[in-house]
A = this chain, B = another copy of it.
């Protein structure tokens, strides 16, 4: 059920995030270390921002596995960015196609998900009924992920006063409402006890938000870590997060630790909201079930 990485910080080359680490997403695509299913070969996607040029992110998605994609291999070393999302897919809901591949893009936002809503078909139609026409028409595929993000975007739209950026707390409320609504729909469909999991990440290219959330947190959800420091740097095959002597200049949020330095990685607690602001301040805040 997928793995991902999110980066916000000083400019970095995409291959230092995606290709070079010893437990890179490429490695996780055929040999994920912290999942029961080690295989994530149902496609992958990379989104990144180049702010001087555009507020819209680039987005490269493919339905072939990450481990064999030459376009990724050739081009990641040329992409310099301050904000990147990359995701490898192990399909549960929805077939293999580009529109079902994360990250999803809504206006200038990128979104990706590790987790799922089993028996999704029982709630899909009801989720759709809650969306306005614009968000409804944004959905292109059949994944639970895309529908969850649509519902999240619906809540964000409803809360947004024109021109005023939402606070971190307001965004957290949007996530909470999304999970509460889904749980309510599950209950109405008679599947309240089915475990739905939401390691979600969303970014505008300037801030990053996410959750490590489960409807049943007593049951292990997908791993999620964060790492902050002076920069994520690869040298002679070793990729490390540098000390933050000059202040935090890089934040990584990842499904798995990318290197063999466990001290660099802090688990995101279960059922918590995580936010990284423009100054790379990181907030963790509990959510309720």
Contact = CB atoms under 8 A, between A and B. Distances in A.
Nearest to A45: B71
A235 interface: no
A142 B137 CA distance: 10
A44 to B, nearest CB: 12
A288 to B, nearest CB: 31
Contacts of A58: 74-75, 78
A247 interface: no
A68 B39 contact: no
Interface in A44-66: 50, 53-54, 56, 58-65
B50 A78 contact: yes
Q: Which label, helix, strand, loop or mixed, suits the secondary structure of the A interface? A: mixed
A278 interface: no
A71 B60 contact: yes
A124 B136 CA distance: 10
Given A60-B75, A99-B95, A133-B125, A65 B41 contact: yes
Given A91-B68, A142-B140, A59 B74 contact: yes
Contact of A71 (B56, B61, B65, B97): B61
Contacts of A68: 42, 91, 95-96
A71 B45 CA distance: 10
Contacts of A105: 74
A207 interface: no
A91 B56 CA distance: 26
B64 A63 contact: yes
Contacts of A157: none
Contact of A13 (B30, B39, B53, B136): B53
A246 interface: no
A121 to B, nearest CB: 5
Nearest to A42: B68
A237 B245 CA distance: 49
Interface string A66-82: 00101100110110100
Nearest to A50: B78
Given A42-B68, A61-B71, 7 more contacts: A30-B39, A39-B41, A53-B77, A56-B78, A60-B75, A68-B95, A68-B96
6 contacts: A58-B74, A59-B74, A64-B64, A64-B96, A68-B91, A125-B133
Interface of A: 13, 30, 39, 41-42, 50, 53-54, 56, 58-65, 68, 70-71, 74-75, 77-78, 80, 91, 95-99, 105, 121, 124-125, 128, 133, 136-137, 140, 142
